Structure 1
Amino acid sequence: MLINKDYIYLDNAATTRIDDNVLKEMIPFMSEFYANSSSSHLMGKKVKNEIVNARELVANLLNADASEIVFTSGATESINAVLKGIVANSDKTTKPQIITVATEHSAILNTCKYLEEIGFEVIYLPVLQSGILDIANLKNVISERTLVLSVMLANNETGVIQNIKEITKIAHQFEALMMTDATQAVGKIPVDVKDLDIDFLIFSGHKFHAPKGIGGFYYKQENKFVPLIHGGGQENNRRSGTSNTSGIVGIGKCAEISLNQLDQDIEYIKKLRDRLEQELLLIEGTFVNGHSAERLHNITNICFPNIEADFLIGMLRNICVSNGSACHSELIEPSHVLIEMGLSSEDAFSSIRFSLSKYNTQEKIDYTISKVKEIVNNFQT
């Protein structure tokens, strides 16, 4: 029997619980083996070797070479490092244009706004009602003037997955660099940088059961960019600063676990998500925001017309869900993602994101279904 003090956590697109085995792997590097990985003594060398091993594990998850993985503090830093680094290494007179999508995460959108302020032309492409990028529209605006195209692999609010492989082919036809924010996808679905032929790919540990404060990016080795952070030359001169050893060890272990359990976790979580979604859609008027098939298996974004999401979230009490991106959850404005998909402000304000993980159970999903139905029924009567 569930009691009120038991949290039911369905906000895994915001952040995730650290995997128990990941935490176990990290602890020695905060207690016993705490040396700086740049130190030349024996403990320092042991720590450095562990970082080398973790880099290999993350590279394996992405089908990359270890030398192509750069560790940072997370996705936001990685996005800034890549976009600003590409721009700093470019000739604005020949390639002054950046293209992205209006439904991207704020880390992309606000970085692009900064790049506009320093003289770059930025095009924000619309999406279809499904949340999918209109490829025909992209083909109409991209040109030899385009420096970089940045398209999110999986949306953080709806889970909608873009066809990055096809989009990358279009970018390369015009000799534009291709970057994807894969923060919501890495560790949850197969991501193969060689198959995608991507130039830059962003990831973050706390979205797939590694700790907060560690993430990074993949870069194809022939691509050059200027580092955002200069200093001691760590990360092969791509990002300076003392290595976050415990975080790096943690994300490495998490990458290993994810690679081994990917198919099993997808099947388990999708079954729970589908049950939650099917039952909640029995409530009159409800509908799912985003493409029904091209989306992550762990996210459903459901509109409950005429009921404000904040009211419903408050009434759910110990059930943790979201009314949009965690980065904007305190702003009193509708989700820009849902608005760009054609929802009215009223429906956007009435939409809730449920995002699941391997730690959810059918018992807690069933409890959530019953509580949501109870609250909505009481509100409507």
Structure 2
Amino acid sequence: MEKIYLDYNASTPLAPEVVEAMKPLLYDYYGNSSALHWSGKPVKQLLQKAREQVASLIGSSPNEIVFTSGGSEANNLALKGFYFKHRSKGNHIITSKIEHPAIINPCKFLEQVGANVTYVGVDRYGRVSLEEIKKAITKETILISIMHSNNEVGTLQPIKAIAEMAKQAGIVFHTDASQSVGKVPIDVKELQVDMLTIAGHKLYAPKGIGALYLKEGIQLEPLIHGAGHESGLRAGTENTLLAVGLGQACEIATVQVGRKEIKKLTEYFWHQLRTVFGENVVLNGHAEERLPNTLSVNFVNKVGQDILAGIPQLAASTGSACHAGSVELSPVLKVMEVPEHIGMGAIRFSVGRETTQAEIDQVISWLRQIIT
């Protein structure tokens, strides 16, 4: 049975070059990167190279990159680390209602320890309102965190405009770019962000590795206390194996990120869906300001989970869940106010470097058989 993977937003396979870059760490380079002898020095050099590769992809300095265990830890370090370090200056945080749980849940935790969090809404395309963010700012606001792109519907947020607004108000700005890095060009200086989250397994690096861009001068309270690893921000011997993998993935992405093939493939997919299903298929998210690989659609009056269950050889994600005969929309679709009879048929297709047009045609054929 042919299997087709269209869930690259959930996780990506390891790029072959990433695997090759990691191999020496499995055999030859086993020293501790903090050690000063012959076994530690080459490992430290590999770690530094990885830091430089990550920094190069987003236009930062290597000393502004903090390696973490993934996007979730990077988000937690940004939110909790900043709040605990600066809560004497104010206790107000602004974020959006469609953030990933790795933002929403840390904010919920911080509310339990004294933070006041405002969750701003979005329009029907999943874009935040600059005016609503501006209205939410108070003299107690110390941090704004808005995702660069939505992992479910692919909508890109007006990050630069939000960052400029935050800067004018003297507020630090963080963006979760886990879904964006490697898919669209990102330059932290151009965006004017103070902190930015990277997740390795979204850009062909291993799971269990990520990074936080931390603008020089921004101070955080560490989540993990111990020795002075990662400039004192994350205690524990660095996972050089995975960091090297992330570094190599970022180097590849500097070449891949500007290519148009994936966007053309996504556009072809959407055109074929409209040709076959007409008005019975509806796009989620913004038509233009979106990730080039992400296609979130609703099959009207159908249940996305049922459709995918009927095509077990297809890997994709649904935006609705069935519970005891009823259908519950995802929190993102709810906030976007997608009608239930439309949103219950939500499926997120996300393509990647290995996806072919022939695979798209096969998926269209499967969908036609199941739905019609």
TM range (shorter): over 0.9
Matched, 1:88 2:84: yes
Matched, 1:65 2:58: no
How many residues of Structure 1 are paired with residues of Structure 2 in the alignment? 368
Matched, 1:320 2:311: no
Matched, 1:48 2:41: no
Q: CA deviation at 1:155?
A: 0.4
Q: CA deviation at 1:14?
A: 0.4
AA in 1 matched with 2:48:
V
Name the structure 2 match of 1:176.
171
AA in 2 matched with 1:301:
S
Gaps of 5+ in 2: none
- The 8 Å contact of residues 75 and 103 in structure 2, kept in 1 or not, is answered as yes
**Could you say if the C-alpha distance between residues 239 and 269 of structure 1 is closer, same or farther in structure 2, counting changes exceeding 3 Å?**
same
AA in 2 matched with 1:376:
I
Structure 2 CA distance for aligned equivalents of residues 97 and 172 of structure 1: 16
AA in 2 matched with 1:51:
L
Name the structure 2 match of 1:74.
70
Name the structure 1 match of 2:32.
36
Please list every run of at least 4 consecutive aligned residues from structure 1 whose deviation after the TM superposition is greater than 3 angstroms.
328-333
Q: CA deviation at 1:330?
A: 10
Q: CA deviation at 1:349?
A: 2.4
- The 8 Å contact of residues 323 and 329 in structure 1, kept in 2 or not, is answered as no
Name the structure 1 match of 2:15.
19
**Could you say if the C-alpha distance between residues 41 and 185 of structure 1 is closer, same or farther in structure 2, counting changes exceeding 3 Å?**
same
Structure 1 CA distance for aligned equivalents of residues 27 and 76 of structure 2: 32
Name the structure 2 match of 1:97.
92
- The 8 Å contact of residues 304 and 319 in structure 2, kept in 1 or not, is answered as no
AA in 2 matched with 1:313:
L
Structure 2 CA distance for aligned equivalents of residues 346 and 246 of structure 1: 47
CA-to-partner distance for each residue in 1:328-368, whole Å, 9 max, x for gaps? Answer: 99997421111100113343321000001111111111111
Which range moved further: 45-54 or 31-40? 31-40
Name the structure 2 match of 1:350.
345
Structure 2 CA distance for aligned equivalents of residues 18 and 96 of structure 1: 41
Aligned runs of 1:187-336 on 2, under 5 Å?
187-264=182-259, 267-282=260-275, 283-284=277-278, 285-324=280-319, 333-336=328-331
SS in 2 for 1:76: helix
Name the structure 1 match of 2:356.
361
Structure 2 CA distance for aligned equivalents of residues 329 and 15 of structure 1: 23
Structure 2 CA distance for aligned equivalents of residues 48 and 76 of structure 1: 25
Name the structure 2 match of 1:160.
155
Which range moved further: 290-299 or 141-150? 141-150
AA in 1 matched with 2:257:
L
Q: CA deviation at 1:36?
A: 1.9
Name the structure 1 match of 2:102.
107
SS in 2 for 1:178: strand
Structure 2 CA distance for aligned equivalents of residues 316 and 11 of structure 1: 14
- The 8 Å contact of residues 143 and 174 in structure 1, kept in 2 or not, is answered as no
Instruction: Give the share of equivalent positions with the same residue, in percent.
Output: 39
AA in 1 matched with 2:270:
E
AA in 2 matched with 1:277:
W
Q: CA deviation at 1:261?
A: 2.3
Gaps of 5+ in 1: none
- Of 2, 5, 10 in structure 1, the residue corresponding to residue 6 of structure 2 is 10
Structure 1 CA distance for aligned equivalents of residues 188 and 23 of structure 2: 31
Structure 2 CA distance for aligned equivalents of residues 61 and 143 of structure 1: 34
Which range moved further: 287-296 or 338-347? 338-347
- The 8 Å contact of residues 97 and 335 in structure 2, kept in 1 or not, is answered as yes
SS in 1 for 2:257: helix
Q: CA deviation at 1:307?
A: 1.3
Q: CA deviation at 1:172?
A: 1.5
Structure 2 CA distance for aligned equivalents of residues 16 and 7 of structure 1: 15
- The 8 Å contact of residues 319 and 333 in structure 2, kept in 1 or not, is answered as no
- The 8 Å contact of residues 3 and 314 in structure 2, kept in 1 or not, is answered as yes
CA-to-partner distance for each residue in 1:116-143, whole Å, 9 max, x for gaps? Answer: 1111111000000111111111121113
- The 8 Å contact of residues 144 and 175 in structure 1, kept in 2 or not, is answered as no
**Could you say if the C-alpha distance between residues 270 and 329 of structure 1 is closer, same or farther in structure 2, counting changes exceeding 3 Å?**
farther
Which range moved further: 104-113 or 134-143? 134-143
CA-to-partner distance for each residue in 1:166-198, whole Å, 9 max, x for gaps? Answer: 001111122111000000011111110011111
Matched, 1:116 2:121: no
Structure 2 CA distance for aligned equivalents of residues 67 and 324 of structure 1: 39
